[in-house]
A and B are shown apart, each in its own frame.
Chain A
Amino acid sequence: MGRYSGNRSAVEALIRPTQVHRDVYIDDEVFDLEMKHLFANTWVFVGHDSQVPNKGDYFATEIGRQPVLMARHSNGEVYVMHNRCPHKGTKIVIDREGNTGKFFRCPYHAWSFKTDGCLLAIPLKKGYKDTGLEESEAAKGLAPVGAVKNYRGFIFARLNAEGPGFEEFFGDSLSSIDNMVDRSPEGRLEVAGPPLRYMHQCNWKMLVENQTDTCHPMVAHESSAGTAVKLWESLEKPEGTKKPMAMEVIAPFMSPYEFFEEMGIRTWPNGHGHTGVHHSIHSDYSAIPGYFEQMVEAHGEERAKEILGENRHNTVYFPNIMIKGPIQQLRIFIPLAANKTLVESYIYRLVGAPDMLLQRTAMYNRLINAPTSVVGHDDLEMYERAQEGLHSDGLEWVNVQRLYVEGEDMDETAVENGTTERQMRNQFHAWKKYMTMTMETAQ
């Protein structure tokens, strides 16, 4: 038994109603337990099915620290399996994506597998005659993950065979994915190009928390958004001059506290939640000519207005993705170590909609989330300062108390003031639940 390994009550004690212990961010043993329990018990985003449009297409990624690949099988379905040859452990694919044809072939000894993972053939198979190979786990092929769900194109997987069902885990939070997909006149998204890849020397949860942290933009991003607003004013354009697209994207980050208070936050059970219940930083973008008409034709006027009237800001799907429905962006926070996180930022095309929408989305992605972004630079600076600062022995606890209400029930959906830290508390409530779900109870 370590400090935390095999010590369920020590893990539970890390989370208090309004505080979390620093070890959830900096302790290697806690991180290992997250990989073993949290990322195995929850439904984790793997990829979008448009990344593997054709039979034999594959995409390699990680669930927590587990290397997995998703592949489009001959029956048209997407399968998710461990990226590890059952023979000697060699990773079956090492590139990020490609097409493998009708089967995967291990480059070491040429064991081959169907694109659903089943063993297809072994060279010189007579060497296994009467050895009982067919009874071994190696003969079963590439190990499947516990469960897979394709929800409107978004592929999620649960590593453990047993655990919460997909609908049970996500519940009403799926309405944010619905809204993103419904914004396509054809009800379909397609991934647009490779993701931005941004390395962060900090814990993955700092990024997840920041997605619903509405009290930092006007402070941490004053240097980018504030400067943009001042620069635009200094140009003294005639009144009524249309703001450039970049200004529409970046200026709302400087909105006052009241704007964020009034936008609202909604939390759902199991750690999911979103900012921008009533309006958001995406609400006042210019209309793109022709788009509304396409939506009316596809959905009828009333439904089209309903879909486009929803302007949710950031929706967190616990444990480690965030989506922006109004601009079709998804960011995944891939944990690599207690102090190392890879952030990948994807964008999607609304199939059938004008290109100008995608152009704005691509601009948002590079202006806000690139390693070359003047907005991202200051966020990363904050996370890395926190990762270092948490090693101070002056204090051991991180405060998440803003707008705390005694006795708040995270199993209830709630809509609250947009500057509450309730969603952070909601995440840690879910963290404790899914960390300890498969831990043995203390003797």
Chain B
Amino acid sequence: MTFPSRDDLIDFVYEEARMIDDGRFDEWLDLWTEDGYYWMPLDYKQEDPHLVTSLLYEDEFLRKLRVERLKGERTFSQKPKSRCHHVLSRPFVDEMDRDNGLFVTHTPLHYVETRLDEQFMLAANARHELVLVDDELKIRLKRVDLLNSDAAFGNIQLFV
């Protein structure tokens, strides 16, 4: 792969969502750079992930912990398991910075999660900052801004 095309970037974002919906979490872990972060701010237009609370700010260790936990025998909040479902709007390609190898997409999406008789929906915007590692696209930062990030939620157990 030389440089990704717009379609490559868009396909990547769709494929990531499909992996989550299919429960292919080990494959999903491989989509990230070693120093990548999965960030879900708590506040509308939050800029700082460190000195105020976020819903998520997960490095490689914490992403792996989440995936390993989902496999556990004593993961009580996942007995029975949750399922989730993404509907993505076509991602906008916001940046194609070939000089610095940085590619940025913006994706409005709806996310549905279900377990037992409960089901809830979240609306969100996802920003993917993608880089090339050994000619493969990897996620350096995925930022998910929930439309109602300041609302009171019950458990959100999978990955938006």
A residues sitting closer than 8 Å to B (CB atoms) are 192-201, 220, 222-224, 226-228, 230-232, 244, 246-247, 342, 345, 347, 349, 355, 358-359, 362-363, 365-367, 370-372, 374, 376-378, 380-382
Find out whether the CB atom of B55 lies under 8 angstroms from the CB atom of A371: yes
Q: List 19 A-B contacts (CB under 8 A).
A: A194-B42, A194-B43, A198-B154, A222-B74, A223-B74, A227-B69, A228-B65, A232-B61, A244-B61, A246-B59, A359-B50, A362-B53, A366-B42, A366-B53, A370-B53, A371-B155, A374-B66, A376-B155, A380-B155
The answer to whether B43 touches A372 (Cβ under 8 A) is: no
Given A227-B72, A362-B51, A378-B76; A197-B65 close (CB under 8 Å): no
Known A194-B42, A223-B76; contact A371-B53, beta-carbon cutoff 8 A: no
B1 in the interface (beta carbon within 8 A): no
Query: Which residues of A lie under 8 Å from residue B74 when comparing CB positions?
Result: 222-223, 226
Q: How far is the CB of B37 from chain A (nearest CB, A)?
A: 12
- Residue interface mask B44-80, A partner, CB < 8 A = 1: 0010001111111101011011101100101111100
B51 in contact with A231 (CB, 8 Å): no
* Chain B residues within 8 Å of A371, by CB: 55, 152-156
Alpha-carbon distance between A216 and B118 when the two chains are bound, in angstroms: 26
Which listed residue, B40, B57, B151, B157, touches A377 by the CB 8 Å rule?
B157
Min distance, Cβ A189 to any Cβ of chain B, angstroms:
14
Hey, which chain B residues are within 8 Å of A226, CB to CB? 74
State whether A192 and B42 are in contact (beta carbons under 8 Å apart), knowing that A227-B69, A227-B72 are contacts in the complex.
no
- Is B51 in contact with A380, judged by CB distance below 8 angstroms? no
- By the criterion CB–CB under 8 Å, are B155 and A246 in contact? no
- What is the CA–CA distance of A286 and B57 in the complex, to the nearest angstrom? 21
A335 CB, nearest partner CB in chain B, Å: 14
Instruction: Give the chain A neighbours of B22 by CB distance below 8 A.
Output: none
Pick from B75, B151, B154, B155: contact of A223, CB under 8 Å: B75
Q: Please tell me if the beta carbons of A197 and B77 are within 8 angstroms of each other in the complex.
A: no
Residues A362 and B52 in contact, CB atoms below 8 Å apart: yes
Residue of B nearest to A358 (CB): B51
Q: Does B30 contact A (CB under 8 A)?
A: no
Please give 18 more A-B residue pairs, beta carbons under 8 A apart, in addition to A370-B55, A378-B77. A196-B42, A223-B75, A230-B68, A231-B68, A232-B61, A246-B62, A347-B53, A349-B51, A355-B51, A362-B52, A362-B54, A363-B57, A365-B53, A366-B56, A366-B57, A367-B62, A372-B55, A380-B155
Interface of A (DSSP majority class): helix
Closest B residue, CB atoms, query A336: B152
Residue of A nearest to B75 (CB): A223
> In the assembled complex, which residues on chain A have CB atoms less than 8 Å from the CB atom of B157?
377
Q: A197-B150, A223-B76, A378-B76 are in contact. Are A366 and B55 (CB under 8 A)?
A: yes
Specify which of A195, A198, A362 lies most central, judged by the most chain B CB atoms within 10 Å of its CB: A362
Instruction: Report the bound CA distance from A345 to B55 in whole Å.
Output: 12
Decide yes or no: A342 and B51 within 8 Å by CB, A193-B42, A224-B65 being known contacts: no
Residues of A within 8 A of B59 (CB): 244, 246
Of all chain B residues, the one with the shortest Cβ separation from A96 is B150
Assembled-state Cα–Cα distance A198/B150 (Å): 10
Alpha-carbon distance A54/B72, docked complex (angstroms): 50
- Which A-B residue pairs are the 8 nearest by beta carbons? A193-B52, A197-B152, A223-B75, A377-B77, A371-B153, A381-B77, A199-B152, A365-B53
Note all chain A residues with C-beta closer than 8 A to B154: 198-201, 371, 380
Central interface residue in A192, A359, A366, by most chain B CB within 10 Å: A366
Contact of B50 among A362, A378, A382 (CB under 8 A): A362
Check B53–A193 contact: CB distance below 8 A.
yes
- Min CB distance B89 to A, Å, is 23
Interface centre among A196, A342, A359 (most CB of B within 10 A): A196
Q: How far apart sit A372 and B42, CA to CA, in the bound complex (Å)? A: 11
Task: Tell me the smallest distance from the CB of A94 to a CB of chain B, in Å.
Answer: 14
The distance in angstroms between the C-alpha atoms of A195 and B43, with both chains bound, is 9
**What B residues does A382 contact at CB under 8 A?**
76
Contact A198 B152 (CB under 8 A): yes
Interface positions of B from 62 to 112, Cβ below 8 Å from A: 62, 64-66, 68-69, 72, 74-78
Q: Cα distance A380–B69 when bound, in Å? A: 16
Q: How far apart sit A90 and B92, CA to CA, in the bound complex (Å)?
A: 44
Distance A371 CA – B152 CA, assembled complex (angstroms): 8
Tell me the smallest distance from the CB of A332 to a CB of chain B, in Å.
Answer: 12
Query: In the assembled complex, how far is the CB of residue A274 from the closest CB belonging to chain B, in whole angstroms?
Result: 23
